[in-house]
Amino acid sequence: MCHMVSELHIPQYKQTKLPFIIDEDVIAERGLIESSYKSGMDYESMIPYQGGYLCHRTTKPVFTSAECQQIVDEAERICEVREGGWSTKRHGNYPTTDIPIVELPDTMEFLRETLHTRVYPLLRKQFQQFLPNGRSLRVVDGFIVKYDVNGGQSELKPHRDGSVLSFNIALNPVDDFEGGGTWFQSLQDAVKIDQGEVCSHASGVLHGGHGITSGKRYILVAFVIVEDYDTWSMRFYNQVRDL
């Protein structure tokens, strides 16, 4: 399982999931309503596996352009005064130029709510053929990645994530850069999304950040587990890791 895996900090997930959880009382108080999605209308699917699919991309934005820009602005603003600026050593084997969302208070508060209303309902629908309990999805790590051909990281080599599901959200328009997207070995191609759209996939499939050749690319990346289903999670991970 360690081969070509970006990181394995699963024992820490019991703590790292906590900042992303929104209290049930807050959900009721704010009257938060979950979005609904339809295959073929709201997203398209790739990499077939046992009656379902291991990779998906939305065909319309899940986050608005204004919401995406606010996230980028906060990340850049905080990294300007943050010691060391953007981090380059957080994910040991396959590090990204990033900043953890837990260090972005406005983005953290926004994501707690939108995970409940927009992202988890999307993942439940997309991976419903596999999940033992769609209500047990938990983000355990989230971060903003910056690709920049001018003095920064421009790509991420093929790897596997140490979770069950992963997703990334494009935070700036595709017109801002050339290249990019998430490359998958199974497709021998990169899946590209525009600002506010989501690419989601089983964490165990081999993937990487396809290189950009000009401009800057910002994405929000998150790792997701299925809480209390560790045995199933390990089995699923090992089943799909060679696809």
Q: Is residue 175 part of a domain?
A: yes
Number of domains in the chain: 1
pLDDT at 8: 45
pLDDT at 243: 81
Q: What is the 3-state secondary structure (H, E, C) of the chain?
A: CCCCECCCCHHHHHHHCHHHCCCHHHHHHHCCCCCCCCECCCEEEEEEECCEEEEEEECCCCCCHHHHHHHHHHHHHHHHHCCCCCECCCCCCCCCCEEEHHHCHHHHHHHHHHHHHHHHHHHHHHCCCCCCCHHHEEEEEEEEEEEECCCCCCCEEEEECCCCEEEEEECCCHHHEEECCEEECCCCEEECCCCCCEEEEECCCCEEECCEEEEEEEEEEEEEEECCCHHHHHHHHHHHCCC
Q: Is residue 160 part of a domain?
A: yes
pTM metric for this prediction: 0.93
Q: Is residue 188 part of a domain?
A: yes
pLDDT at 236: 95
Q: Is residue 82 part of a domain?
A: yes
pLDDT at 90: 79
Residue pair 134/128 in contact (Cβ under 8 Å)? The answer is: yes
Q: Is residue 167 part of a domain?
A: yes
Q: Is residue 45 part of a domain?
A: no
Q: Is residue 1 part of a domain?
A: no
What range does the domain containing 121 cover?
Answer: 54-240
Question: Per the structure block, which two tokens stand in for 42?
Answer: 């709201």
Q: Is residue 189 part of a domain?
A: yes
pLDDT in tens for each of the 243 residues of the chain? 344 544 444 667 888 999 999 999 999 999 999 999 999 999 999 999 999 999 999 999 999 999 999 999 999 999 999 999 999 887 767 788 999 999 999 999 999 999 999 999 999 999 999 999 999 999 999 999 999 999 889 989 989 999 999 999 999 999 999 999 999 999 999 999 999 999 999 999 999 999 999 999 999 999 999 999 989 999 999 999 878
pLDDT at 10: 62
User: Could you give phi then psi for residue 233, rounded to 5 degrees?
Assistant: -60, -45
Give the CATH number for residue 135: 2.60.120.620
